Amino acid sequence: MQKKWWKEGVAYQIYVRSFKDSNGDGIGDLRGIIEKLDYIKSLGVDMIYLNPINKSPNEDNGYDISDFEDIMIEFGDLEDFDELLSGIHQRNMRLIMDMVINHSSDEHPWFIEAIKSKENKYRDYYIWSKGKDNKPPNNWGSFFGGSAWELDENTGEYYLHIFSKKQPDLNWTNKELRQDMKNMLKYWVGKGVDGFRMDAINHLAKDMRFPDGEVKDGALYGDFIPYVQNLPEVHDYLKELKRDVFTDSHVVIGETGGINYENAHVYTGVDNKELDFTFHFDLHSVGKGENPWERVDIDLIKDIKEKMTGWATRDEKEGWCPVFYSNHDTTRTVSRLGDDKKYHKLSAKMLATLQLTHKGTPFIYYGDEIGMTNADDFKLEDYRDASIFTRYSEFVLSGIVSHENYIKGLNLTSRDNSRTPMQWNAKENAGFTDSNPWIKVNSNYQEVNVEKQEKDCDSILNFYKKLIALRKEELTLVYGTFEEIDKENPSIYAYLRILEDKKILIVCNFFGRDAQLMLSEEAFLSNFKLEVCNYENGEDNLQIVNEKIINLRPYESRVYISER
Ligand code: GLC
Ligand code: CA
């Protein structure tokens, strides 16, 4: 397998707004990250992925860019950026930037020009339609609620926005637009950025005939996915970017909804020259019931094992993958996939074990290394995600959902759960800021914080550090094959990683009850030495039923290595 820095490294994702405020305005910023670079380095990670930092009016927290070559005012300026980048490089880490090129802000100069007249040079940088009988051209509903079309009163035409109306979609069929985008990407490449996460990238092409979407189960709008996602022209645009902008030393990652381990090769196939790997949505909704305010039990085989194993066992030629549970669009890992109450520490450590020994590049979402949890006591006014309020009118004010259920749903599934400030210490506002944070701090910060866990050798934080160090030492965890054991086991995820004569055995009990595992012949424990266990004195405490069967306690996880 081809060796690459981005396969061997471990990544750390930072939601800049919520990481560290350096100047007391309640908003995280670049200088805040600079202050914390030694902390990040102390985790043992090799690359930092930052959510968007470009200039933006913040309708969607930076995913609505008004200047692609400048920094968001609240985050700092280009000098801060240069200092941050060199601080990262000095510490032998790398930087991955988020690039939002599917749409811009409606406050971008291109859009401001575009709405001046139909003849304006920038008109065609966006996607327009006259509409029908004073109505939008079709029934497409946007991802953030409401119609995907907005009327521009001045010119009397509708523009397309698959996200909010302040995020008009760019027209990638326009060659000049593509050239401007390539120049912009080259500008960041020229500064020394090591990789890019391309936002909503499989939406670059749209079906410009704008057919109506299918209306499912009495929905207000039609399903537009078949007409705005994974269209063939996306491949041409990605190949063009790879050819004209990026080199082999960059990592190019795409966010690709609707793509799974069976079809991701269309973008990541090593001969395609499009993307190195993709972020999927496989684990985003695990445990979510039919309604957002309901939870269902996790089906380990279907929800987790089939998917994670599916990614890990793809043919080499199909490309690489990340291993991640959470990001800024999900809920908190331990709340969704573990037990954030009774087994907080054990389940967070079990999940860390799985993530850092699986096949693919681990992306640790900020705060997961201390087991940050959902903000499950937030009220409507505590939320900040704009889409929550659009949907509130669509569902609650129109009487479809009760206020109580809506809030319960947000507590369980809102992406604001994973955007609360980093919990640095037990002081006011968790040491994130000296003033009012832009979004409330999770009320458990006195219990769950970095300072406390740094001092406690049994903490989640120190467990992460140990596993990250192990992954860096054992290339078997990077390039080794992946073989599942006792596949049908409904409670335990167990597998072997094998490279040449080295074998690593990993066993993880996914639930808060005892469970038994049937070992395969290659996994008989007599050939292995225990390396990591999330229970104290793991060596002495293994419950052996007989030579083939072991019993794991609630959320117990173990990593064994074969003797050389
Ligand atoms: C992606 C981002 C998400 C954002 C959307 C629109 O899905 O991850 O946070 O809201 O794109 O840019
Ligand atoms: Ca600030």
State the CATH class of domain 477-563. mainly beta
> Which H/E stretch holds residue 363?
strand 361-365
pLDDT digits 0-9 by tens, 400-424:
999 999 999 999 999 999 999 999 9
* Angle subtended by helix axes 78-90 and 175-191, to nearest 10: 50
Atom of ligand 1 nearest to the CA of 144: 10
Cβ atoms of 227 and 149 closer than 8 Å = no
| 335 pLDDT above the threshold of 80 | yes
| 356 pLDDT above the threshold of 90 | yes
Q: Is the CB of 15 under 6 A from ligand 1?
A: no
> Ligand 1: which of 60, 327, 387 to mutate, most ligand atoms within 8 Å of CB?
60
Q: What are residue 544's DSSP bridge partners?
A: 550
pLDDT digits 0-9 by tens, 43-65:
999 999 999 999 999 999 999 99
User: Closest by alpha carbon to 234, among 266, 207, 202?
Assistant: 202
74 is catalytic: no
Counting ligands in written order, the one closest to the CA of 144 is: 1
- Classify strands 157-160 and 149-152 as parallel, antiparallel or unpaired: antiparallel
- Classify strands 322-323 and 157-160 as parallel, antiparallel or unpaired: unpaired
Cβ atoms of 406 and 399 closer than 8 Å = no
What is the rounded (10 degree) CA torsion for 73, 77, 80, 85? 100
d(CA 467, CA 471): 6
d(CA 39, CA 32): 12
Atom of ligand 1 nearest to the CA of 64: 12
Q: Please report the pLDDT score of residue 281 as a whole number.
A: 96
Identify the residue whose C-alpha is closest to ligand 1 atom 4: 63
Domain spans of the chain, in order of start: 10-103+175-366, 109-160, 477-563
Q: Which of 60, 194, 199, 531 is flagged as catalytic?
A: 199
The HSE-up count of residue 316 (CA atoms within 13 Å, CB side) is: 8
> Which H/E stretch holds residue 48?
strand 47-50
Q: Please report the pLDDT score of residue 394 as a whole number.
A: 87
The single-letter code of the amino acid at 470 is L
Q: Please report the pLDDT score of residue 526 as a whole number.
A: 83
The fold of 109-160 is Oligo-1,6-glucosidase; domain 2 (3.90.400)
DSSP per residue, 102-153: SB--TTSHHHHHHTT-TTSTTGGGB-EE--BTTB-SS-BBPTTSSBSEEEET
Rounded to the nearest angstrom, the distance between the alpha carbon of 477 and the centre of ligand 1 is 31
| 323 pLDDT above the threshold of 90 | yes
DSSP 321: -
Could you identify the residue written with the tokens 């637009």? 177
Q: Please report the pLDDT score of residue 228 as a whole number.
A: 98
pLDDT digits 0-9 by tens, 203-214:
999 999 999 999
Q: What's the average model confidence in pLDDT over 335-351?
A: 98
CA 476 remoteness from chain centre: 25
Q: What is the pTM of this model?
A: 0.96
Position 332 confidence tier, pLDDT thresholds 50, 70, 90? very high
| 563 pLDDT above the threshold of 80 | no
| 250 pLDDT above the threshold of 70 | yes
Q: Please report the pLDDT score of residue 489 as a whole number.
A: 98
Q: Is the CB of 199 under 6 A from ligand 1?
A: yes
> Ligand 1: which of 17, 65, 329 to mutate, most ligand atoms within 8 Å of CB?
329
456 is catalytic: no
The fold of 10-103+175-366 is TIM Barrel (3.20.20)
d(CA 227, CA 140): 9
Position 436 confidence tier, pLDDT thresholds 50, 70, 90? very high
| 564 pLDDT above the threshold of 60 | no
Strand order in the sheet with 361-365: 277-279, 251-255, 195-198, 94-99, 47-50, 11-14, 361-365, 322-323
Q: Please report the pLDDT score of residue 254 as a whole number.
A: 98
pLDDT digits 0-9 by tens, 155-212:
999 999 999 999 999 999 999 999 999 999 999 999 999 999 999 999 999 999 999 9
Rounded to the nearest angstrom, the distance between the alpha carbon of 257 and the centre of ligand 1 is 10
